[in-house]
Amino acid sequence: MLTEGMVEAGDTLLCMVPESGRFAVSFMHLTAVAAPDLGLTPSTSHGI
Protein backbone atom coordinates (compact mmCIF):
# COMPACT_ATOMS: atom_id res chain seq x y z
CA MET A 1 0.00 0.00 0.00
CA LEU A 2 2.82 2.41 0.80
CA THR A 3 4.88 1.74 -2.33
CA GLU A 4 1.82 2.12 -4.58
CA GLY A 5 0.85 5.48 -3.08
CA MET A 6 -2.46 4.28 -1.67
CA VAL A 7 -1.76 5.78 1.79
CA GLU A 8 -1.08 9.46 2.40
CA ALA A 9 -0.42 11.45 5.56
CA GLY A 10 -3.63 11.88 7.53
CA ASP A 11 -5.30 8.74 6.17
CA THR A 12 -6.75 6.37 8.74
CA LEU A 13 -6.75 2.58 8.55
CA LEU A 14 -8.93 0.15 10.47
CA CYS A 15 -7.43 -3.33 10.80
CA MET A 16 -9.21 -6.39 12.16
CA VAL A 17 -7.11 -9.17 13.69
CA PRO A 18 -9.06 -12.40 14.24
CA GLU A 19 -8.11 -14.69 17.12
CA SER A 20 -7.24 -18.14 15.86
CA GLY A 21 -9.81 -20.76 16.90
CA ARG A 22 -11.90 -18.49 19.15
CA PHE A 23 -14.72 -16.04 18.81
CA ALA A 24 -12.60 -13.03 19.65
CA VAL A 25 -11.27 -10.24 17.46
CA SER A 26 -9.08 -7.21 18.00
CA PHE A 27 -9.08 -3.95 16.09
CA MET A 28 -6.33 -1.43 15.35
CA HIS A 29 -7.03 2.16 14.30
CA LEU A 30 -3.93 3.59 12.62
CA THR A 31 -3.25 7.09 11.35
CA ALA A 32 -0.61 7.63 8.65
CA VAL A 33 1.94 10.37 9.25
CA ALA A 34 4.51 11.90 6.92
CA ALA A 35 8.08 10.69 7.28
CA PRO A 36 10.40 13.33 8.74
CA ASP A 37 12.86 14.93 6.34
CA LEU A 38 16.20 14.06 7.90
CA GLY A 39 18.14 16.04 5.34
CA LEU A 40 20.33 13.08 4.40
CA THR A 41 22.10 13.32 1.08
CA PRO A 42 24.51 10.76 -0.42
CA SER A 43 27.45 12.88 0.77
CA THR A 44 26.23 13.01 4.41
CA SER A 45 24.53 9.63 4.85
CA HIS A 46 27.78 7.64 5.29
CA GLY A 47 26.22 4.49 3.88
CA ILE A 48 22.98 4.67 5.87
pLDDT tens-digit map of 15-39: 999 888 778 999 999 999 988 887 7
So what's the pLDDT on residue 41?
Answer: 65
Whole-model pTM: value is 0.55
Residues 6+ apart with CB under 8 A from 28: 13, 14, 15, 17
CB 23 within 8 A of CB 32: no
